Structures are given as structure tokens and as C-alpha cells.
Structure 1
Amino acid sequence: MSLTFNEQNYHQLCDQLAQADADFAAVIQAYGYPPYWSRANTFESLVHIILEQQVSLASALSALNKLKERVQQITPSRVLMLTDEELKACYFSRQKATYTKYLAGALLGGKLNLEELEQLPDQEVRARLTALKGIGNWTTDIYLLMVLHRTDVFPIGDLAIINALKRLKQLPSTTTKEELLARAETWRPYRSIAAMLLWHYYLGHRR
């Protein structure tokens, strides 16, 4: 079974990484502990992550809120009742409307069971999610990290994490993803906590 973290041991794990890596210690010293970013294991959370693909967090949230306004409760059956035009009015692109409806159908048809995923190892969760249209590794990484709270996920497809890691470690802009992943190996089995610290650093540095 894959390791998980929770609100109780979160700061302790941050401290553990800070002891092993002086740059993380400096992040905590400058900005405090990262927030405990967490989402419920629901259809709504997965729709939210799909909406966040390649757009700003603010515009994703605005589309999610618009959808909530329209259907009150974001459930697979309610979403499937909407036309493409109605989803477009909720700021969904054509692609994201397709992905969301496909996910709703997979949940209603029993092809995917979110509660079951809680019991499965990371790789099996990844295999089941990426088998669905519109769900790739980045979406799966965010789900594993923020919803299932698995300790050893590193979303290398996340631009904020890549930029934060290059800046924190003073790496050249030409550093490849493979080289960044090799660096992240030193944080196993707590790469998720490292990702949280990097997001926190990225947001703090921007402010």
C-alpha cells in the first residue's frame, strides 16, 4: 500500500525535508509552512483538476463556480443533463466539456469507482485514471497528491514546480525534466511534500 500523509503529520514531514535540504529550511523560514492543500475524493474535485489543466487556477475556479451555480451540486448525472452549449456558458472549452462528460459516464457506468482508488497503489490509480479520455499524468499527480494524499508524487508536468525548482536550486533554464526528476529522487519517499514546499515557494516568491 502506498504511504499517505495527513494534517497531523504534515508539518513534521516538512521539517524532515528541511533537515535534509537547506533550501527547504530557507523556504519555511521565509514563508512559513505551506498550506495543507486538500480536496475531497469526489467527482467535483476531479472536474476541478480537469478545469485546471493548462489554465490559471483563478479561471478554473471561476468555471467550477459557474457550473455549481447552474447545477447546484456537481454530480455525474446532473452534468450529463447539460448540453455542450450550457457547459460552454459555464466557461468550459469544447475539450474540457468532452472530458468532463466522459468522466461522468465512466463513474455512472461503473468503469471507475473513486472509493476503490483509495485502496490501490499509486501505479494502479494512475493506470485507471489515465485510461480515461482527457486525464493524463499531471491530472493524476494532482489527484494522488491533493485528494489521496500519497506521499511520493512529483508532478513534473507542473510549470510552477519546474520554475520553482530551477529558481530554488539556481539551475540553468535549459535544465531538462529528466535532470529535475533526478534531483527530486533525493526527496523520496516524500516528494509530494517537496512539491507542496515548491508551490509554496513559487507563490511566496511571486508575492
Structure 2
Amino acid sequence: MSDRKIPDENLRPALEALSSLDPDIARAFAEHGLPPERSQEAGFDGLIRMIISQQVSVQSARAILGRLLEQVGVITPQEILKLDDEGMKAAGLSRPKQRYARGLAEDVLSGKLQLDLLPGMDDEAVIDHLIAVKGIGRWTCEIYLLFALRRPDVMPAADLALQEAMKHLKGLRQRPGPAEMYQLSELWRPYRSAGARFLWHYYRHAGIA
């Protein structure tokens, strides 16, 4: 994902609409402004990067990705399957992530996973197709929808940073779980992707992290 800290002007119309719907968003948006530009390539490369990012810090994910790229040059199913256990371990991939990466590569090469069809599917169909791959849960599916396919109304409700940001934004006593995150963000339809992007931004800039 891009690290450029350029404000994403594409989000302004959606965040202004959200501000008219939710006074908490209006207050926080006035204070913290637009989130930075952020994107993710679609396809196999993007999914491998998302698997790497699961349950590790941004800094750790970046380091693992760098070491992996040193070994394979380019992230393709064929190159991932050429890499042995020691090579994956040297890159920093845990044993489960080694299995997930290989399984994803095998599913793409066998045709079980058809990534080129995803842009033409609706959000739930994309989730159903991706979640059949071992190691890809709903969080990864929603991140792929949001950043790779640029869908406008996605809330990755299991994301801990988003949950902490929502707790702070709404003055809640406890961090909301996924079900409550979906409920709290229902008002934000059809702009939940912009809302999620803003929550990450808020998490980093409101003294929460």
C-alpha cells in the first residue's frame, strides 16, 4: 500500500456527506481533515500482501514484504511455489502464512480462484469467492474490496484499529465488536468505505494508537 501522505481529495464528497449524517464524524473531520491517499493492487500480488499484513504491524509487514521480494523478484503464483520452507521462513512468513501463500498460489493456478472475475461481482459474491481460500477470512475480503476493488460501501468490522477508533469517536465505554461495528456504521451507508478510511486516519491522529 502506498505510504504517500497526500490528502485523498477523492474522499472529500463522501466525508462531507457523512458529516451531514453524523455529528461525530463532522467534528472529527473538521479537526483532522482528509485521510492520506492509500491504494492496493488487485490480483494475486495484492492478496499475498494482505496475507502478510494479517495480525502484524505495518512496519513488520513492510519488512517481510521486502525480504520476500528480494527472494522472488516478483510476486506470482509460480514464484511463490518455487520458494521452499527455508526461503519463506527467511522472509519472515510464519508457518500458517506459508501454507496460506502456497494454497492461494495453487488455487489461482488450478482455476479454483478466478481473480479476474472479481471486479464484475457484487460485494458479497466477491467475499464468497475469496473466503473459500484457506487463510482468507472476512477481514481480508473486506480489505480487498475496499482498497483493491475500490468499493464504496465496505466496513471491515473485525479490524481492531477501527474498533478502537469507533470507541473513541462515539465515546463508548468498551471497544465495539464486529456486530456492533456494523450496527454503528449502518447510518453511514452508502459511504462506509470512506468512513472506514477516516477511522484509520482518526486512530493515527487522535492520540488513540
Give the partner amino acid of 2:98.
A
Match of 2:183 in 1: 182
TM-score by length of 2: 0.91
Q: How does 1:1-207 map to 2 (within 5 A)?
A: 9-173=10-174, 175-206=176-207
The alpha-carbon distance between structure 1 residues 177 and 110, as it changes in their structure 2 partners (threshold 3 A), is closer
- Kindly state the Cα deviation for residue 8 of structure 1 after the two structures are TM-superposed: 7.0
Contact kept, 8 Å, 1:161 with 1:202, in 2: the verdict is yes
TM-score by length of 1: 0.92
Q: Tell me, in whole angstroms, the C-alpha distance in 2 between the residues paired with 1:162 and 1:178.
A: 11
Contact kept, 8 Å, 2:77 with 2:106, in 1: the verdict is yes
Contact kept, 8 Å, 2:167 with 2:175, in 1: the verdict is no
* Percent identity between the two aligned chains: 42
The alpha-carbon distance between structure 1 residues 25 and 62, as it changes in their structure 2 partners (threshold 3 A), is same
- Kindly state the Cα deviation for residue 176 of structure 1 after the two structures are TM-superposed: 4.3
- Kindly state the Cα deviation for residue 36 of structure 1 after the two structures are TM-superposed: 2.8
CA offset digits 1:157-186 (Å, max 9, x no partner): 100000000011001116443233211111
Gaps of 5+ in 1: 1-6
Q: Tell me, in whole angstroms, the C-alpha distance in 2 between the residues paired with 1:73 and 1:130.
A: 24
Give the partner amino acid of 1:115.
D
Aligned residues: 201
| Runs of 4+ displaced beyond 6 Å | none
CA offset digits 1:14-47 (Å, max 9, x no partner): 2111221122222222222012321111212111
Q: Tell me, in whole angstroms, the C-alpha distance in 2 between the residues paired with 1:85 and 1:176.
A: 37
Contact kept, 8 Å, 1:164 with 1:198, in 2: the verdict is yes
Contact kept, 8 Å, 2:163 with 2:175, in 1: the verdict is no
Contact kept, 8 Å, 1:48 with 1:61, in 2: the verdict is no
CA offset digits 1:37-59 (Å, max 9, x no partner): 21111212111111111111111
- Kindly state the Cα deviation for residue 67 of structure 1 after the two structures are TM-superposed: 0.5
The alpha-carbon distance between structure 1 residues 47 and 176, as it changes in their structure 2 partners (threshold 3 A), is closer
